Homo-oligomer: A and B are copies of this chain.
Amino acid sequence: MTALHRIGVFDSGLGGLTVLNAICAANKGLSIIYFGDTARVPYGSRSVETIMHYAEQDVRFLLSKDVEAIVVACGTVSAIALSELHKTFPIPIIGVIEPACDAAANLTVTRHIGVIGTHATVHSSAYSNYINERYPDCTVSGIECPLFVPLIENGFREDDPISKMIVERYLSPIRNTDIDTLILGCTHYPFLIDTIRETLPGVQLIDIGVTLAETVGKTLPLSKSIGDNFVEYCFSDRETGFRRFDSEHLRSLPNGPIKAVNIESF
């Protein structure tokens, strides 16, 4: 396989920037197009049909930018649409599910894995389907956390008492179970990771962005060139949310042009 120089990374919004950051930290000399569908975020509360339609448009946009492989840095799209995207588009497309499940199955001692995610992710059974097939001795329990994304997108920090109360509400039911490993099934959730850790002491947390970035490095024949990465940031809505998010959370993102995309036309 020839070395890849140009890849696409997409998310429903800004959470996938954590994945972009991890890929940039691990690889040099790549050209990366990031797309965030900020005009239609969040995906996780929408129907399967709508998520599928949006995901296909996102991929078609990235293909129009001549990317050679695509990283789905969105928990919801990975859970709902990945196998269909594989059938439809003839380039490598990597999602978060398999790397996260492999990491969790490798860590769990009790063989009981928890997955937190959006409504769509939890109802898709994508994690349990993969784990049941690959690690039949493991059990998976899913927990919906629909307010986590709005909290983060609206600038609530994880040490805010409101954030702590919402984390406690969603996650306290896990505390007295034998779940010893929890997949944070949305690329936004690492912004709450310290509070989640306090709420569930002793539970091992899997950051799907980190496991995804590791898998990208291992499975894609990325160009081993040197020099800076070239990143282009594309959004379906204005850039201001990105600049605010970046300054708060992601100071280390590489510089790059910011462009507006009419995603409906793809």
Contacts and interface: CB of A to CB of B under 8 A. Distances in A.
Interface stretch (A27-35, A145-153, A195-203, A218-226): A145-153
Contacts of A236: 50
Interface string A151-165: 101101000011001
B166 A162 contact: yes
A237 interface: yes
Interface stretch (A39-47, A94-102, A172-180): A39-47
A233 to B, nearest CB: 15
Q: Give the number of times this chain occurs in the complex, counting copies.
A: 2
24 contacts: A38-B46, A39-B50, A40-B40, A45-B153, A45-B154, A45-B241, A47-B238, A47-B240, A49-B238, A50-B236, A50-B237, A146-B150, A146-B154, A147-B147, A147-B150, A147-B151, A147-B154, A150-B150, A161-B165, A162-B162, A162-B166, A162-B169, A165-B165, A264-B264
Contacts of A156: 147
Contacts of A146: 150, 154
Contacts of A241: 45
Contacts of A161: 165
A11 B45 CA distance: 17
Contacts of A39: 40, 46, 50
A167 to B, nearest CB: 11
A30 B113 CA distance: 54
A234 to B, nearest CB: 15
Interface in A21-66: 38-40, 45-47, 49-50
Contacts of A238: 46-47, 49-50
A255 B225 CA distance: 63
Interface in A100-146: 146
A39 B50 CA distance: 7
A47 B221 CA distance: 39
